[in-house]
Amino acid sequence: MAVRRLLKVLDGETLTPPPIWLMRQAGRYLPEYRQTRQQAGSFLDLCYNPELATEVTLQPIRRFGLDAAILFSDILVIPDALKRNVTFSEGKGPAMDPIEVSDIASFSKVDVLPHLCPVFETVKRLRAELPQETTLLGFCGAPWTVATYMIAGHGTPDQAPARLFGYNHPQAMEELLATLADISADYLVAQIDAGADAVQIFDSWAGVLGESEFEKFAVKPIQRIIASVRSRRPGAKIIAFAKGAGLLLKDYRQKTGADAIGLDWSVPLSFAQELQKDGPVQGNLDPMRMVAGGKALDEGIDAILQALGNGPLIFNLGHGITPQADPENVTKLVNRVRGFKR
Amino acid sequence: MAVRRLLKVLDGETLTPPPIWLMRQAGRYLPEYRQTRQQAGSFLDLCYNPELATEVTLQPIRRFGLDAAILFSDILVIPDALKRNVTFSEGKGPAMDPIEVSDIASFSKVDVLPHLCPVFETVKRLRAELPQETTLLGFCGAPWTVATYMIAGHGTPDQAPARLFGYNHPQAMEELLATLADISADYLVAQIDAGADAVQIFDSWAGVLGESEFEKFAVKPIQRIIASVRSRRPGAKIIAFAKGAGLLLKDYRQKTGADAIGLDWSVPLSFAQELQKDGPVQGNLDPMRMVAGGKALDEGIDAILQALGNGPLIFNLGHGITPQADPENVTKLVNRVRGFKR
């Protein structure tokens, strides 16, 4: 089998140059994505269409030869599988029926896996079609982040409804997060069984939590997912990305049991270096540098390579690439990273 | 003159119990505010009406006897004075004409102070009407935060347009921020001359900046404001609040020259303790605890008092109080903080 470089970094190796992939690399900034997108009905239809989801996942690999492909899907397929009436509308973001405390008990009784079968089929096709050396990543949303949408019924600037729910109903919140953790673990195990080499857990809203809530609502459920996945699939490789967690990342890898942690672009590189002493890190270029290009792009890349290139690093953005990004800048990024020498 | 307790803390003293005020304490959660609000036309009309702005500023002082009153105004009166056509619409937030690079040079030629005269009149009336022991705070927005709105023309989830502008036009951005810093310094000096005892600079969007941009766009302009104010009003007391800055708060007080730094609710209390060794801190209760009340409120208060009550602390929320907050919870908060004994 060809060497999957990203997996070596997850084992703690330092590779030069570091492997690279980009969050949301299959997305609207690519003309070929926009074309395929038109062939699907809704956004969720695309997520559940193995043929088209495979196609869009492969597009950035064909174009840029990135080290990893990430399954095209969405973190909200879980509430969708829980029949929360999830919709995505252009420009307005996702929406669903907001939950009540009394809804929570029913969630653990739903077998979500049949609904998610098309996702596993996509993973299977991807592993068959990807180059041998390309790592295939599966993923899910972190329970806290998924819960913020399920509670508010939509995105908000600081997920205040979910924070309030946590204060008002601490036990119901813990039950919801534990249930989502168990469902997510099943979901990740099925992705691994279908052929995912590693998985990433996205906690996009970890940054709105105070210290004690971060522990209860962000760390604990991810611990639970990872322990559950590893008990069934020993050695499963897992990246945890807690956006905006700042200082609370200090012992996040240790506490959650993740192999590597993702860093957003606000994480200072000196702190990232400290974190890297404990284990592999992934990140953390500001996605806006991919829009700006030129000097802003080169300087951003070089700063990360300088600071983190001498340890276990997966080069990535600090958040998803945006629709305005120029695909030409991805080529430049990949070339520059691949040209790095220690 | 009666002792203004908050000013003693800004001098580095530890007071027991700590003084307390709340960001956005004159606001929609108060029925008397909503009543007065109806008497003004637009939101900006209220900001520029000395009689009504004085009234709403005094309302929370009458009700709760807080240690400080903060001038009722808005950070966007500066772009309004620069004729950017600022409007506030219910539920949609502020909007204005987005700037072009070519607009920036003209801003330094505008004398904004005449337009802001009603604000200074409000400050004057407030100092005359407030109890002697109540500290009167003036404020302005930080140049970066004000610029994010001027560039996008409205608020956005992560101020990507301003981040992009900074990468695309680094020199124009520095010029814009320097100009806004100079205007803000004049504005703060005029507030101090009208009777403000201390001022706060709000950098609500500091948290979206990467490390090197934080230095250039957040730290440097605030340094410039503080140096300018102090050169003209030696000993002027200044609080700087960089929301979401996390680890970058480490030397923020030293670098900016602020007397105290504000902490948002995501700042871990162990880190807040470290920061407090260097100087006074202000914060940092999650505003959602003011909506939840009960145990969530009490636990949040006690954790802060335990961790920070033995050093120079100004008790506050970690962000503005929200419209859903129960005024009764403010009474409970004030009583609990006032009951604190070391």
Which residue carries 């990893």 as its tokens? A68
Residue A91, φ and ψ in degrees, nearest 5: 80, -15
Quick: pLDDT tens for A68-109. Answer: 999 999 999 999 999 999 999 887 899 999 999 999 999 999
Which is catalytic among the residues A4, A5, A24, A163? A24
The interface predicted TM-score of the complex, written ipTM, equals 0.94
- Please give the order of strands across the beta sheet that includes B238-242: B68-70, B135-141, B198-203, B238-242, B260-262, B281-285, B313-317
Which is catalytic among the residues B37, B127, B232, B338? B37
Domain boundaries, chain B: 5-338
Higher pLDDT, B90 or B284: B284
User: B-chain residues within 8 Å CB-CB of A303?
Assistant: 212
Residue A339, φ and ψ in degrees, nearest 5: -85, 0
What one-letter code names the amino acid at A296?
Answer: A
Is the predicted pLDDT of residue A237 greater than 90, yes or no? yes
User: B-chain residues within 8 Å CB-CB of A286?
Assistant: 163, 167, 210
State the DSSP string of A69-115.
Answer: EE----TTHHHHHTT---EEETTTEEE-PPP-GGGHHHHTT---TTT
Task: Chain A: give the shortest CA distance to residue B164, in Å.
Answer: 5
Quick: pLDDT tens for B251-276. Answer: 999 999 999 999 999 999 999 999 99
B20: which strand partners? B315
Stated as kind and residue range, the H or E segment containing A10 is helix A5-10
Residue A149 annotated in active site: yes
Cβ-based burial of B179 (10 A; exposed 0-12, middle 13-18, buried ≥19): buried
Quick: pLDDT tens for B172-186. Answer: 999 999 999 999 999
Which residue carries 């953005």 as its tokens? A317
Is the predicted pLDDT of residue A41 greater than 70, yes or no? yes
Quick: pLDDT tens for B272-301. Answer: 999 999 999 999 999 999 999 999 999 999
User: A-chain residues within 8 Å CB-CB of B286?
Assistant: 163, 167, 210
CA dist., res. A323 & res. A56, Å (int): 15
Q: For residue A1, what pLDDT is reported?
A: 62
Average pLDDT, chain A: 97
Q: Mean pLDDT, to the nearest integer, of A18-28?
A: 98
State the DSSP string of B28-95.
Answer: TTSHHHHHHHHHSSSHHHHHT-HHHHHHHHHHHHHHH--SEEE----TTHHHHHTT---EEETTTEEE
Closest CA to A99 of A107, A91, A90: A107
- Provide the CATH topology of domain B5-338: TIM Barrel (3.20.20)
Mutate to test the interface with A, among B92, B203, B247, B275 (most CBs of A within 10 A): B247
Does the domain at A27-279 match CATH 3.20.20.210? Answer given as: yes
Residue B249, φ and ψ in degrees, nearest 5: -75, -15
CA dist., res. B71 & res. B188, Å (int): 12
Residue of B nearest to A296 (CA): B167
Mutate to test the interface with A, among B171, B266, B306 (most CBs of A within 10 A): B266
Task: Chain A: give the shortest CA distance to residue B101, in Å.
Answer: 15
Cβ-based burial of B280 (10 A; exposed 0-12, middle 13-18, buried ≥19): buried
Quick: pLDDT tens for B116-170. Answer: 999 999 999 999 999 999 999 999 999 999 999 999 999 999 999 999 999 999 9
**Is B266's CB within 8 Å of A286's CB?**
no
Which is catalytic among the residues A67, A74, A203, A264? A74
Residue B74 annotated in active site: yes
Is the predicted pLDDT of residue B2 greater than 90, yes or no? no
Of the candidates B167, B265, B288, which has its C-beta nearest A296's C-beta?
B167
Task: Chain A: give the shortest CA distance to residue B88, in Å.
Answer: 18
Number of inter-chain CB pairs under 8 A, A vs B:
83
Encoded tokens for A271: 């702190």
DSSP 8-state class, residue A195: T
Q: What is the pTM assigned to this prediction?
A: 0.96
Quick: pLDDT tens for A178-211. Answer: 999 999 999 999 999 999 999 999 999 999 999 9
SS3 call for B303 = helix
Average pLDDT, chain B: 97
**Is A288's CB within 8 Å of B164's CB?**
yes
Task: Chain A: give the shortest CA distance to residue B264, in Å.
Answer: 9
Q: For residue B342, what pLDDT is reported?
A: 84
**Is B292's CB within 8 Å of A168's CB?**
yes
CA dist., res. B4 & res. B131, Å (int): 10
Is the predicted pLDDT of residue B1 greater than 80, yes or no? no
**Neighbouring residues of B80: CB distance < 8 A, sequence distance ≥ 6:** B44, B86, B96, B115
Q: Mean pLDDT, to the nearest integer, of A283-299?
A: 98
Which is catalytic among the residues B29, B33, B48, B149? B149
